[in-house]
Amino acid sequence: MNTQKMKKHLSKSGVRSRTRSGLQSQRVRRNRFKRIRLVVLVLLLFTLFNTFNYSTTVDTSQQMTSYRIESGDTLWTIAVNHNTANMDPRKIIRDIQDLNGIGNAIYAGEYLQIPVYN
């Protein structure tokens, strides 16, 4: 009888449950921290891979042509229209951006240097 009262007292006071929940919360925090580290590591590796994969150098000895941007032109349409070597237009766009020091924005009336591919 005395032991039953002790068990009831311990369970009512929450001593055991606090200890278990404290350990569980530590495990949860530890596991959450491990997952966060893993996600950060994967994102870092993905970023590094893409940086090295997409870093290109444009051959400056390559022939160039000058193109005046018309209203409605996009880098994609310019790359497709000047794609004489049947290359991926994304590569041509990157080369145009690198040669001209531009991002994605182009404006009618400006001139672009476009590499000629054989």
Least confident of 16-20, 30-34, 98-102, 103-107: 16-20
Q: What average pLDDT does this structure show over 9-36?
A: 68
pTM here? Answer: 0.49
Q: How confident is the model at residue 60, as a pLDDT?
A: 53
What is the average pLDDT score of the chain?
A: 79
Contacts of 56 (CB under 8 A, 6+ apart): 91, 94, 95, 98
pLDDT at 13 over 70: no
Q: Which helix (H) or strand (E) holds 27?
A: helix 15-54
More confident residue, 76 or 26: 76
Q: What average pLDDT does this structure show over 43-55?
A: 72
